[in-house]
Amino acid sequence: MRKKKGLSQYDLADLTGFSQRMIAHYETRAMKPSLNKIEAIANALGVEPADLLMTENQSKNEIDPRSFDTRSLKKLQDILSLPQNDRADLYRMLNRMLRENRSKRI
């Protein structure tokens, strides 16, 4: 996004108050920025913070996390709070149901 905006790493560093070296580390994923730094970079680029979190490989066919309804987000939060073994069981069950559903559509 920085390049699309025609900015160098030095330009972005000036806009955010971060060093060029930190910008380079974030871009190469050598370091992960904190949420407040993501927000500062997004503001400098004139984009939403979520836009910075998407990878280049994500397609427009993928679900945008901002499109989830409150109920789905709550369920996802509940799932993520389960112990690892219970989550694994749930994922296996979901995978089985999804496979069965796909085979019915064919």
33-60: per-residue pLDDT in tens? Answer: 899 999 999 999 999 888 887 755 554 5
Quick one: how far is CA 3 from the chain centroid?
A: 20
Q: With 0.75 as the threshold, say if the pTM is over it.
A: no
Break the chain into its structural domains and give their ranges.
Answer: 9-53, 65-105
Supply 94's token pair: 């979901």
Mean pLDDT of 23-41: 90
pLDDT of residue 59: 43
What's the CA gap between 20 and 74, in Å, rounded?
Answer: 39
Structural contact between residues 4 and 46, judged by C-beta atoms closer than 8 angstroms: no
Query: Which burial class, exposed, middle or buried, applies to 49 when counting CB atoms under 10 A from its CB (0-12, 13-18, 19+)?
Result: middle
pLDDT of residue 58: 52
Whole-angstrom CA distances from 30 to 24, 27, 48, 62 are: 8, 8, 22, 26
Query: What backbone torsions phi and psi does residue 4 show, to the nearest 5 degrees?
Result: -60, -30
Q: Which CATH superfamily is domain 9-53 in?
A: lambda repressor-like DNA-binding domains (1.10.260.40)
Structural contact between residues 2 and 9, judged by C-beta atoms closer than 8 angstroms: yes
**DSSP reduced 3-state for 76:** helix
pLDDT tier, 18 (very low <50, low <70, confident <90, very high otherwise) = very high
pLDDT of residue 89: 93
Chain segment 54-105, per-residue pLDDT in tens: 755 554 556 666 677 888 888 988 999 999 999 999 999 999 998 988 888 7
